[in-house]
Amino acid sequence: QQQVKQSPQSLIVQKGGISIINCAYENTAFDYFPWYQQFPGKGPALLIAIRPDVSEKKEGRFTISFNKSAKQFSLHIMDSQPGDSATYFCAASMDTGRRALTFGSGTRLQVQP
């Protein structure tokens, strides 16, 4: 029940296109859902996060959509740029028990010029 499933494993998008990465979770106790961005040779960095009291959060070209009933959330990258090429991880955590993030398996995004 701690698992967070992420898809696709890899994604190729043309410059200017929309990148969509999906995640699903089982544990309904999760109540915090961040996305992390990782460039090669670097540690992941927080990109954007959402809590289940809202269905969408937008920061610049990055949007999280959250569907509580389906236990799914997704990251949309609008007007994708070559500089967005990185690995993206979804994650989830809860405020009880093990207070640490559970990460998805990651999506390698390549934005072609």
Partner 1 sequence: NAGVTQTPKFRILKIGQSMTLQCTQDMNHNYMYWYRQDPGMGLKLIYYSVGAGITDKGEVPNGYNVSRSTTEDFPLRLELAAPSQTSVYFCASSYRAARSDYGYTFGSGTRLTVV
Residues that bind partner 1 (CB under 8 A): 2, 6, 9, 32, 34, 36, 41-46, 49, 89, 93, 95, 98-106
- Strand runs (DSSP E) across 2-71, as ranges? 4-7, 10-14, 19-25, 33-38, 45-50, 56-59, 62-67
For residues 60 and 98, which CB has a smaller minimum distance to partner 1 in the complex?
A: 98
Q: Which residues, including other chains, have CB under 8 Å from residue 5's CB and lie 6 or more apart?
A: 23, 24, 25, 104, 105
For residues 40 and 113, which CB has a smaller minimum distance to partner 1 in the complex?
A: 40
For residues 40 and 83, which CB has a smaller minimum distance to partner 1 in the complex?
A: 40
